[in-house]
A and B are shown apart, each in its own frame.
Chain A
Amino acid sequence: MSAEAPSPSTPEATAEPHHFRRILTIWIAVSVVGDLLFAIFVGPHVPPGRMSDTATSDSVDFTILFLVALPVLVGVWVYMGYAIVMWRASRPGVPEPVGGPRARGNLRVQIAWIASTTVVVLALFVFGTVELYVTNGSGGGEGPNPIWTPTSATILPVQVIAQQWRFTFRYPTFGGFETPDLILPVNTTVEFHVTSLDVIHDFWAYQIGVKADANPGSDNIAYTTTKQLGTFTVRCDELCGLWHGAMYDFGRVVSKSSFEQWAARTEIQLAALTKTLPPFALTYTPDANGADGGFYPDTNDPYSNVETYGATQPSS
Chain B
Amino acid sequence: MSVETQAIIDSPPTGRMRATHGFLSPNAVWALVGGAAGYAIGHLCGDIIAGSQTVVQDNGQNNVAVVLGLAFGVLGWLAGAGMLNYPAAKLVGREPLPQLPSDNWTRYFRPTLDHKVVGLQYTVVVLLFFFTGGVLAMGIRTELLSPTSHVFGPGQYIAMVGEHGTIMMMMASSIVVGPLGNWLVPLMIGSRKMAFPRVEAFSLWIFTAGYFVILAAIPMGGFPTGWTGYAPLQTQATVGMDAYLVGFAVIGIGMIAAGFNLAATIINFRAPGMTWGRVPIFVWSILATAALLVLATPTLVVAGLFGVLDRTAQTAFYVNEHGGSSFLWQNLFWFFGHPEVYIMALPGFGIVGEILPVFTRKPLFAYRVGAAGMIGVALLSFFVWQHHLFQSGINPDMRPLFMLTTELISIPTGFIFLVGLGTLWKAKIRFEVPMLFAMGMYFNFLIGGVTGVFLSDVPVNVTVHGSFFVMAHFHYTIMGGLIFAFFAGLYFWLPKMSGKTMNRKLGQWHFWCMFLFFNLTFFPLFLVGLLGQPRRVFEYASNLQTLNDISSVGAFLLGASFLIFIANFIWSIFIDPKPASANPWDSLGLEWQTPTPVPPHNFDRIPVVLTDPYHYSEPGAPAVADLGVGSIATVATSTPQDAAITEVADPDPGGLPA
Contact = CB atoms under 8 A, between A and B. Distances in A.
B638 A213 contact: no
A241 B236 contact: yes
Interface in B414-437: 414-415, 417-418, 421-422, 424-432
Contact of B638 (A66, A98, A140, A294): A98
Nearest to B226: A239
Contacts of A300: 54-55, 314
A209 B232 CA distance: 27
Interface stretch (B23-31, B78-86, B341-349, B446-454): B446-454
Nearest to B442: A80
Given A98-B428, A138-B458, A139-B462, A291 B617 contact: no
B534 A83 contact: no
Interface stretch (A27-35, A113-121, A257-265, A273-281): A113-121
Interface string A207-238: 10111110111111000000000000101111
A249 interface: no
A298 B610 CA distance: 72
B449 A1 contact: yes
Contacts of B327: 215
A242 B392 contact: no
A242 B154 contact: yes
B367 A128 contact: no
Please indicate which of the listed interface residues B54, B225, B396 has the most CB atoms of chain A within 10 Å of its own CB.
B396
A244 interface: yes
B67 interface: no
Interface string A81-117: 0011001111011011111111111110110011001
A72 interface: yes
Given A218-B393, A242-B158, A104 B367 contact: yes
A213 B393 contact: yes
A252 interface: no
A247 to B, nearest CB: 8
Given A5-B425, A88-B431, A140-B390, A47 B154 contact: no
B235 A132 contact: no
B463 interface: yes
A124 interface: yes
A147 interface: yes
A95 B616 CA distance: 12
Nearest to A69: B450
A294 B644 contact: no
Interface string B444-469: 00110110011011111111011100
Interface in B566-619: 585-586, 614, 616-618
Interface in B378-429: 390-397, 399-400, 403-404, 407-408, 410-411, 413-415, 417-418, 421-422, 424-429
B36 interface: no
Contact of B322 (A145, A194, A246, A296): A296
Contact of A296 (B319, B616, B618, B647): B319
B230 interface: yes
B651 interface: yes
Nearest to B236: A293
Contacts of B429: 83-84, 87-89
A285 B536 CA distance: 27
A101 B647 contact: yes
Given A79-B424, A93-B430, A97-B637, A209 B463 contact: yes
A217 B320 contact: yes
B329 to A, nearest CB: 9
Contact of A246 (B319, B531, B539): B539
A96 B537 contact: no
B471 interface: no
A169 B162 CA distance: 30
A216 B228 CA distance: 18
A132 B400 CA distance: 8
B53 to A, nearest CB: 9
A61 B457 contact: yes
Interface in B208-251: 224-226, 228, 230, 232-233, 235-237
Interface stretch (B260-268, B357-365, B473-481, B553-561): B357-365
Contact of A242 (B155, B397, B453, B534): B155
A104 to B, nearest CB: 5
Contacts of B399: 132, 140
Given A102-B363, A210-B462, A1 B54 contact: no
B639 to A, nearest CB: 6
A65 B422 CA distance: 26
Contacts of B585: 95
B321 interface: yes
A245 B425 contact: no
B410 A244 contact: no
B320 A5 contact: no
Contacts of B237: 241
Given A100-B428, A121-B411, A239 B536 contact: yes
B645 interface: yes
B530 interface: yes
A26 interface: no
Given A58-B460, A216-B232, A244-B537, A143 B395 contact: yes
Given A131-B459, A237-B466, A102 B645 contact: yes
A98 B421 contact: no
A237 to B, nearest CB: 4
A139 B462 CA distance: 7
Interface in B360-377: 360-369
Contacts of A200: 230, 232-233, 326, 392
B104 interface: no
Please indicate which of the listed interface residues B462, B463, B537, B586 has the most CB atoms of chain A within 10 Å of its own CB.
B462
A251 interface: no
B532 A238 contact: no
Interface in B180-202: none
A311 B645 CA distance: 76
A241 B224 CA distance: 5
A303 B322 CA distance: 8
A240 B58 contact: no
Contacts of A290: 321
A47 B531 contact: yes
A310 B528 CA distance: 40
A141 interface: yes
A199 B450 contact: no
Nearest to A62: B460
B467 A237 contact: yes
Nearest to A5: B421
Contacts of B449: 1
A57 interface: yes
Please indicate which of the listed interface residues A92, A199, A215, A240 has the most CB atoms of chain B within 10 Å of its own CB.
A199
A54 interface: yes
Contacts of B319: 291-292, 296
Contacts of B314: 295-296, 300
Given A100-B362, A101-B647, A89 B466 contact: no
11 contacts: A58-B460, A62-B454, A62-B460, A65-B457, A100-B361, A114-B414, A133-B400, A142-B393, A199-B233, A239-B535, A293-B235
The 7 closest A-B pairs by CB, nearest first: A99-B361, A99-B617, A220-B393, A245-B538, A245-B537, A138-B459, A293-B236
Interface of B: 54-55, 58-59, 154-155, 157-158, 161, 224-226, 228, 230, 232-233, 235-237, 311, 314, 316, 319-322, 326-327, 360-369, 390-397, 399-400, 403-404, 407-408, 410-411, 413-415, 417-418, 421-422, 424-432, 439, 442-443, 446-447, 449-450, 453-454, 456-463, 465-467, 504, 530-532, 534-539, 541, 585-586, 614, 616-618, 636-639, 641-642, 644-648, 650-651
